[in-house]
Amino acid sequence: MSKRIAMSIAAALGAIGLVAPAAYADGGAGDTEILGVTVNHGSSVIIGTTYPKSFDVEIDAYDDSGLLSADTTLDGPGAGYASDETICETDYSCTHSFTFDPRVDLDNGQAGTWYVGSWVDAIDDDYRWDERIDSFRLKRASTLTTNASPEPVQKGRTLTVTGTLKRASWDDYKYHGYTSQPVKLQFRKKGSSTYTTIKTVKTNSTGALKTTVTASADGYWRWSFAGTTTTSAKTSESDFVDVR
């Protein structure tokens, strides 16, 4: 069976939630070993609503004769993508570039955990195929705002801090409020370089945030969202408040 057919079978089965049979899942000949993979320089792949996102997938492998080429698959919820054969740039690594266009390739259900598989050929005709070397996160981009008022405010008076958390939709190419998410309210006193978490507030049914605090000192207020398995982390721009 050719490597292209084997990879296609594995990707197709993965796309519908099945694991490829052992004959296709992994195998090889000779001393070729796949050691690991690095996706997007070790970061999640985050995509908004408008522009395609390109990212590298580096396959690290070993063979005593050196590496020749590799084909790589990305297998995620409801979809699978395969690269063309790429000549390895060194004796130890092969790098592929993938591009996902939110308006062509993606829908919201595809956010989450993706798996990387690869068929690596060595110079001496040894080879290795691993269906799932490792995983990475494909995430919907998020936005977050902060507004603290009134400005200025008298010391000891109530300060209201609001904001809105939204995330990209790959279904209609808009940003919508992200509901019921915990978001940290943070404060940095003027002259300090450190933010302190004051409290955690959950977004409402439209993604809005609102809370009150007591004004005590000049400083900067911001919201910070840790992200989820499907949505990127985000920290808002800070809002300075003059306390008199």
Confidence tier at 80 by pLDDT (50, 70, 90): confident
Instruction: Give per-residue pLDDT as tens, 209-234.
Output: 999 999 999 999 999 999 999 999 99
Confidence tier at 20 by pLDDT (50, 70, 90): very low
Could you give the angle at the alpha carbon of 222 between the alpha carbons of 175 and 220, nearest 5°? 145
For the chain, the domains span: 3-139, 142-241
Retrieve residue 164's tokens. Answer: 């809105």
Domain 3-139 falls under CATH 3.40.640.10? no
Burial class (CB in 10 A: 0-12, 13-18, 19+), 152: exposed
The CATH code of the domain at 142-241 is 2.60.40.730
Examine domains 3-139 and 142-241 and report if their fold is the same: yes
What is the per-residue pLDDT for 27? 83
Residue-wise DSSP of 2-36: -HHHHHHHHHHHHHTT-PPPHHHHEEEETT-EEEE
Instruction: Give per-residue pLDDT as tens, 155-203.
Output: 999 999 999 999 999 999 999 999 999 999 999 999 999 999 999 999 9
Rounded to 5 degrees, φ, ψ at 10 are -60, -45
Please give the Cα distance from 46 to 60 (Å, whole number).
23
What SS3 state is found at 47? strand
Confidence tier at 78 by pLDDT (50, 70, 90): confident
Output the pTM of the full model: 0.86
3-state DSSP helix/strand/coil % of the chain, to nearest 5: 10, 55, 35
Residue type, 242: D
pLDDT at 13 over 50: no
Give the gyration radius of the chain's Cα atoms.
24
**Residue 112: how many CB atoms within 10 A of its CB?**
18
pLDDT at 11 over 60: no
Rounded to 5 degrees, φ, ψ at 198 are -90, -45
Question: Mind spelling out the 3-state secondary structure of 154-212?
Answer: CCCCEEEEEEEEEEECCCCCCEEECCCCEEEEEEEECCCCCCEEEEEEECCCCCEEEEE
